[in-house]
Structure 1
Amino acid sequence: MLSYWMQTVDNKTVLEQRDIERPTPAANQILLRLHAASLNRGEFVIGHGLHKGGQASAIGMEGAGVIAAIGNDVKGFKVGDKVMGRCRGAFAEYATMDSVEVMHIPDSLSFEQAASVPLTYLVVHDMLSLQGKLLPNEWLLIHGVSSGVGVAALQMGKAMGAKVIGTSGSPEKLARLKEYGLDVPLCLRGSGFEDAVMKATDGKGANLVVDTVGGSVFAESIRCMGFEARFAMVGYVDGVLSAELDLLALHAKRLRLFGVSNKLRSAAQRAEFLPEFRAEVLPAIADGRIKPLVDQAFPFDQLAQAKEMMETNKHVGKIVLKMPV
């Protein structure tokens, strides 16, 4: 079967397509015939440390398709079921997936849309619900709102009843996101959003900040956070890995800062809150309150072009790779 691999060479990522043997599912796994898999920026950011330098590994982190085989211990699924989930090596014709990660695809979704759900929306559920404790009518500030995580956070935030402020350097992208409920679009890159955030929130500040950008927006975000507000650090595409922290603001406003990453979590820890995700998020996707936004789906042999589109920030929402079915 065809599969994509990647290694880091001289501080650059190098892609390679290989023809390898089809995997066999373990007792607690399914074998998935992939129809689509979603790109995630963190997998290609060298600073995230998801790949060891000079060592090639299979890539792709979430996908959707049809079950081709089932391990002896798997319950609740059968060959032929349309499913989605997180798995290693999803940029391939086939991949094994732990049964705890497998989710049936809602009838309302295409394979391409379904492929953009598992990892991305689980990350957003973590930072908005599990850690962020976002409440109805609170103000959610999303830096880099047009990214895959940013759009998912916008959609989930609106489904939770929040009011959303989003930053992006593209007026066209912000205009497109108005139909997804973006309340306050701020067209800018980097700094300069504090006054607009404080005005929109009647001087009270944002209740939850989602930072997909990095350290360049950190200090100003702290200044425009409200009392008992929360800050979710989820990405640093700007490459800025340090920032000034106003300890007086942290102390006086009783702020809570947290990271959102699966890098150091065990498989059991990653799967711990899947029941809550299935109960809280999947129904909103199934009934259309949340509509996964796929900007473009590339043919399987165009992963390099898909990666280039993502790294040059030409997309709104998710970019997907379609498998040769």
Structure 2
Amino acid sequence: MQSYSIESANGQAKLHLQDIGRPVPGSGQVLLRLHAAGLNRGELIAAHASTGAASRPKPLGGEGAGEVIELAADVSNVKVGDRVMGRCYGAFAEYALMDAAEAMLIPDGLSWQEAAAIPLAYLVAYDMLVVQGKLQADEWLLITGASSGVGVACLQLAKALKARVAGTSSSAEKLARLKALGLDVGIQTRSPDFCDAVMQATQDKGANLVVNNVGGSVFAECMRSMAYEGRFATVGYLDGQLSSNIDIGLLHAKRLVLFGVSNKLRSAAERAALVQRFTADILPLFASGQLRPVIDRTYPFQELPAAIAHMESDRHLGKIVLG
């Protein structure tokens, strides 16, 4: 089968398309014939951040949608022929393995491409907004880098929760498109200068929950933009800045909560538990049509380099998908 891998060295990433053997499901796994897969900037950031000698090529792609064609003997929650979506390692390939505990049945009415756009962005958004962020109706959410895949998922989920949303973007065109999706306040900037606009929108109360997709360059400004007992989720660092000063006095006086969102150190059981909650709470919204993934552009499998170039150009809004 054909599969993409990525090799990184000295801040450079090199793609490889190669023919390899079709994988065989082990305990708790299913084998998918993939129909679509979503792009995620995190994989590319990690590759560009590499230093030193070249790494061994690693399979590329972290989420996909496809048909179950084989499963391990101990798998009972899905069956051969099911249409499923979820996180899976090496999703930029004709076939890939997925842990059955993370496989979600695709709601009727969703295309393969739409399904592939859901797992990572919307699971992360659910983790930040509901599980850890405890966002409530009428509260204010601030999203930095609101046009990213995760940013758009956060906006859509927040509006489904009846929260109010402010978002930053350097593009007036993107903010206009986000307002059509429900964005209450758009702030055109790529600099740490949005606190005044947030305070004006919230009658000087600040944002109850902040999602920081950008990184350290806006960290301090995000804290200044927070409400009393506000929560602050750090999920990305598009700016490549991994450090920032923390105003401990502000943290103390406002009783702020700071948390990160990553699956890097989570156990398989913890990941599966999040999928179960998401399946119960959020998948019905996709099934009913209340939520619909926003796909910026879809590329054929052979055009992954062009899809990555489009992502790195920052011209997209929402998800980029292969399929």
Does the alignment reach a TM-score above 0.5?
yes
Q: Show the counterpart of 1:205.
A: 206
Structure 2 counterpart SS, 1:151: helix
Q: Which moved more, 1:211-220 or 1:280-289?
A: 280-289
- Matching of residue 39 in structure 1 with residue 39 in structure 2: yes
Q: Distance in 2 between matches of 1:50 and 1:34?
A: 29
- The alpha carbon displacement at 1:46 in A equals 2.3
Matches for 1:120-269 after TM superposition, within 5 Å: 120-269=121-270
In the alignment, which residue of structure 2 is the partner of 1:314?
315
- Give matches, 1:60-139, under 5 Å: 60-139=61-140
Q: Structure 2: which 5+ residue stretches go unaligned?
A: none
* 8 A Cα contact 1:229 1:255, kept in partner: yes
1:245-267 CA-partner distances (Å, limit 9, x unpaired) = 11111000000000011112222
Q: State the distance in 2 between where 1:180 and 1:169 align.
A: 17
> Percent identity at matched positions?
56
Deviation at 1:124, TM superposition (A): 0.9
User: What SS does structure 1 have at the residue aligned with 2:3?
Assistant: strand
When the two chains are superposed, the root-mean-square deviation of aligned CA atoms in Å is: 1.6
Counterpart contact for 1:42–1:48, Cα < 8 Å: no
Structure 2 distance, partners of 1:48, 1:40, is 14
Classify the secondary structure of the residue corresponding to 1:209: strand
Which residue type is aligned with residue 17 of structure 1? L
Change (3 A) 1:256 1:287: same
Match of 2:160, as an amino acid? Answer: A
User: 1:301 maps to what in 2?
Assistant: 302
Q: Is the contact made by 2:34 and 2:66 (CA closer than 8 Å) also made in structure 1?
A: yes
Q: Is the 8 A contact 1:85 1:103 kept in 2?
A: yes
Contact 1:191/1:220 (CA < 8 Å) preserved in 2? yes
- Deviations, residues 188-212 of structure 1 (Å, cap 9, x unaligned): 1122211110000001000000000
- Matched letter for residue 45 of structure 2: V
Q: How many angstroms apart in 2 are the aligned matches of 1:221 and 1:79? A: 47
- Cα 1:58–1:47 change in 2 (3 A) is closer
Q: Find the residue that maps to 1:203 and give its secondary structure.
A: coil
- Deviation at 1:76? 3.1
| Cα displacement (A) at 1:272 | 2.3
Distance of 1:253 and 1:311 partners within structure 2: 37
Distance in 2, matches of 1:26 and 1:239, equals: 37
Letter in 2 for 1:100: A
**Could you tell me which amino acid in structure 2 is paired with residue 298 of structure 1?**
Y
Q: Secondary structure at the match of 2:73?
A: coil
Distance apart, 1:28 and its partner CA: 1.7
Read off the aligned partner of 2:132 and give its amino acid letter: Q
Letter in 2 for 1:37: A
Conserved in 1, the CA contact under 8 Å of 2:9 and 2:47? no
Give, as a single letter, the amino acid of the residue that structure 2 aligns with 1:243.
S
Q: Is the 8 A contact 1:43 1:50 kept in 2?
A: no
Aligned-partner SS, 1:182 = coil
- 1:204-260 deviation line (CA, Å, top 9, x unaligned): 000000000011111111111000000000000111111111111100000000001
1:291 maps to amino acid:
R
User: What SS does structure 1 have at the residue aligned with 2:237?
Assistant: coil
Opposite residue 41 of structure 1, the aligned amino acid is R
Q: Structure 2 length normalisation: TM-score? A: 0.96
Q: Name the aligned partner's letter for residue 73 of structure 1.
A: D
Secondary structure of residue in 2 paired with 1:196: helix
Write the deviation string for residues 274-304 of structure 1: whole angstroms up to 9, x where unpaired.
Answer: 2211111111111122111011011111111
- Partners of 1:29 and 1:47 lie apart in 2 by 27
Partner of 1:289: 290
Please report how far the alpha carbon of residue 66 of structure 1 lies from its aligned counterpart in structure 2 after TM superposition.
0.9
Distance 1:86 1:152 in 2: 16
- The number of aligned residues is 322
Q: Are 1:22 and 2:22 counterparts?
A: yes
Distance 1:47 1:227, change over 3 A: farther
Aligned residue type for 2:33: R
TM-superposed CA distance for 1:47, in Å, is 7.2
CA distance in 2, matches of 1:62, 1:122: 11
